[in-house]
Structure formats: C-alpha cells, structure tokens
Amino acid sequence: MEEYRLHTLPNGIRVVHKQVPHTQIAHWGIMLDIGSRDEQPHQQGLAHFWEHMAFKGTQKRKSYHIINRLETVGGELNAYTTKEKVCFHASLLASHSDKAIELLSDITFHSIFPEKQIEKERGVILEEMAMYHDSPEDAIQDDFDELVFQNHQLGKNILGTAESVRSFGRNDLQTFIADNLDTERIVVSLVSNLPFNKAVKQAEKYLYDLPHSTSQRIRTSPSIYVPQTLRVARGMTQTQVAMGRPAYAMMDEKRLPFFMLINLLGGPGMNSRFNMTLREKYGLVYSIEATYAPFLDTGF
C-alpha cells in the first residue's frame, strides 16, 4: 500500500491522503500557499488577521455555529499562519469526517468578514501582540528575524504592527485574498482510516465546484545577508541570546542532513549537545536550543 496518495481536482486543488487503518480519528487540513511574506508593507499582519476572521461568519453560519459545529461531536477546529502558509485544520472521529471538510471548506472559501466581528477581533489580536511582546523568548525571535532578513517581508512580524492591525477592514481582507488565492497552490490533506476513494469523494463534495483561480503574485528573495548585532535593554533579570544566519532553502538537498545536525546540537531532548554541555556540565544556562526554519528560497 502506498503511504500517500494524490488526487487533483479540475480546479487545481490537490487532495493528499494517508490511510491509517488502526486509527479512529480523522485529521483534515486545508493549506494555502499564502503567508505574511506575501503582504505589501501596508498589509503587514493581514494574513494572520484573515486566519482569525475566518471563524467569525460565513454565508450560512455565524461565529457561534462555526465554533460549536465540531465540538458537539468531540472534534477540534483550529488554524495557524506562518510566513509562507495559512492552514485551517480539524480533528475528530472518523465517523464524522464529512462534517470537518464541509466546515473547513466553508470558513476557508466563504467567509463574509462581518464588520462588527472585525472590530472585536482587532482587539483580540492587539492583546495577542501584547502577550508576545511580554514574552522575552518571542520578542528576541522577532528581533532576530528582522536582523537576518532586514527590510524583506520575511523579517516582519506575522502579527503585524498595532498601526496596521488598527487599519484593516473588510475590503482589505477581500482584496488580499483575491490577489493571492490560487487554487493550484492549495493542498487538502486527510489522515484517517477512510479509504482513498471515500476521502476524494468527501473533498469533491465541497471543493469540486470552487472556481479555478490563479494569482500573478511574485515572491521576491531576500537581499544578501549582512551580519549585524543588536542589544536591547529590558526590565528583566535573565539574559536572552539568539545567534544565527541564513541557511538552506526548503527544497535544498542539504536540508534533511542539516535538520539532523540542528537536532543533535540543540533539539528538544535533554541529551542535546548544547544542553549536556552548557547546562548539565557547566550550569551556565537554564534552557538552550537550536532551530532551523526553511522557506521557499532561503532559511535560517
């Protein structure tokens, strides 16, 4: 049996399926090749704002009904935004699989972005920004990204700025989606005990009639890296340090060996080289880790 199977709908959407016979859970995801790097300077934070607003009302559902649709059958619904992707996903019993892909399709492609909900969610996101600002681990990562990628959009905060978030309206959301949505760059995935043909039928039921769309979007690559140092004084008793540089892109053949190296040096295990030396041997730190984030044309 093949591990993964692929089916492409007439509109270009790809359906990827993996059957796991022993599980009773179905996990659906709709991944769109749209992220914060695709924003214009005045749109900073708009992809993340869209992620939030997708839960606030569609042509046939209000926010309350979206939230409760899967929870009433023990399921979970969530989403996340990265610099290159927006993903809506759900997990629930496989016997209710159809409910998940129907709801995900609805919030992804048929949201109406009610003005009252936009005002309310604006405050929620501003509080989210304040939360990350108060977290030294997150704040230093934001500063690091900006130094590595300088003025490129990859270096900008996914959440945006307080000024940009306060400026967004329904038209901004609709324009951003229209400019970037490309059905040939959408992947729908399912992991469950359902057979491949049933997975395809469920996806086709809600996505087959979605019109084919293309985007003329062009992603520019970051400029040549110039080493820099930044020191920020904050009212803390602990010092946070981040060091790094650009690394291999997503499709580079050296990516997987590099992942392994980073994991050996500072992965999540207590026996990483960094942890064993700097914490266990010398007692110099409380926590230390190494990470690698590959993108389409670069990484760090």
Computed from CA positions of residues 215, 79, 98, 67, in that sequence, does the dihedral angle turn out positive or negative? negative
- Share of residues in the chain with pLDDT > 90 (%): 90
Radius of gyration of the chain (CA): 21
pLDDT on residue 236: 82
Q: 3-class DSSP state for residue 236?
A: coil
**3 state SS for 156-186:** CCCCCCHHHHHHCCHHHHHHHHHHHCCHHHE
Each residue's pLDDT tens digit, 162-213: 999 999 999 999 999 999 999 999 999 999 999 999 999 999 999 999 999 9
The pLDDT assigned to 233 comes to 87
- DSSP E strands in the chain: the ranges are 5-8, 14-19, 25-32, 76-81, 86-93, 186-192
Where does the pLDDT of residue 235 fall: very low under 50, low under 70, confident under 90, or very high at 90 and above?
A: confident
Catalytic residue among 2, 3, 39, 51: 51
- Decide if 35 contacts 84 (C-beta within 8 A): yes
Q: pLDDT at residue 1 above 70?
A: no
Rounded distance between C-alpha atoms, residue 105 and residue 190, angstroms: 13
DSSP 126-150: HHHHHHHHT-HHHHHHHHHHHHHHT
pTM above 0.85? yes
Name the CATH topology of 5-207.
Answer: Cytochrome Bc1 Complex; Chain A, domain 1 (3.30.830)
Active site residue 84: no
Place 2 in a pLDDT band, splitting at 50, 70 and 90: low
**Tokens coding 205:** 């039921």
The pLDDT value recorded for residue 24 is 97
- What six digits make up the tokens of 157? 């905060």
In the chain, pLDDT over 70 holds for what percent of residues?
99
Amino acid at 134: D
Mean pLDDT confidence for 228-253: 91
> Is 225 a residue whose pLDDT tops 90?
no
The residue count for the chain: 300
**Residue spans in the chain of domains classed CATH 3.30.830.10:** 5-207
CA nearest 133: which of 154, 160, 152, 153?
Answer: 160
For residue range 12-29, list pLDDT tens digits in order: 999 999 999 999 999 999
